[in-house]
Amino acid sequence: MCGAPKQGGALAGIDLDTQTVIQGQVWHDGAPVAGAYVRLLDATDEFTAEVVTSPEGEFRFFAAPGTWKLRSLAPVGRGERVVEAEVGLTETTVVLD
């Protein structure tokens, strides 16, 4: 898949007029979680993609407008969050417990 791009960071080079970007951070106990697995599930709960969070706990997906579920899994716990995405940037936080 051409190598997963580095997670998080600047949005330079990403065309937010055409791309639907869902990005955010994974948190646990008041701190971001590095190395957490985050998967993007579609409206039917089917797997669409999975990334590993950056050292700052960040993740990013390129999706399409609609309803998506983020599910995160890490040795410290798991968490979920549903988001409504539109063209442009949608930011969110997934908390593990």
Partner 1 sequence: MSRNDVLVSVDWVQEHLGQPGIVLVEVDEDTSAYDGGHIEGAVKLDWKKDLQDPLRRDHLDKTSFESLLSSRGIGNDDTVVLYGGNNNWFAAYAYWYFKIYGHRDVKLMDGGRKKWELDGRPLSKDAVERPATQYQASEPDLSIRAFRDEVVASIGSKNLVDVRSPDEFSGKILAPAHLPQEQSQRAGHVPTAINIPWSKAANEDGTFKSDEQLAELYAEQGFDDSRPTIAYCRIGERSSHTWFVLRELLGKSDVKNYDGSWVEYGSLVGVPIEK
Minimum distance from residue 14 beta carbon to partner 1 (Å):
7
Find tokens 């936080």 and name the residue. Answer: 93
Find tokens 């971001």 and name the residue. Answer: 32
Secondary structure (3-state) at 22? strand
Minimum distance from residue 61 beta carbon to partner 1 (Å):
5
- Residue with Cβ nearer partner 1 (42 or 89): 42
Secondary structure (3-state) at 76? coil
Picking from 67, 5, 61, 8, the residue whose alpha carbon sits closest to that of residue 32 is 8
- Residue with Cβ nearer partner 1 (49 or 95): 49
Picking from 1, 51, 56, the residue whose alpha carbon sits closest to that of residue 21 is 51
Which residues are near partner 1 by CB under 8 A?
A: 1-5, 14, 19-20, 35, 37, 39-40, 42, 44, 46-52, 60-64, 73-75
* Amino acid code (one letter) for 64: A
Minimum distance from residue 1 beta carbon to partner 1 (Å):
6
Minimum distance from residue 27 beta carbon to partner 1 (Å):
18
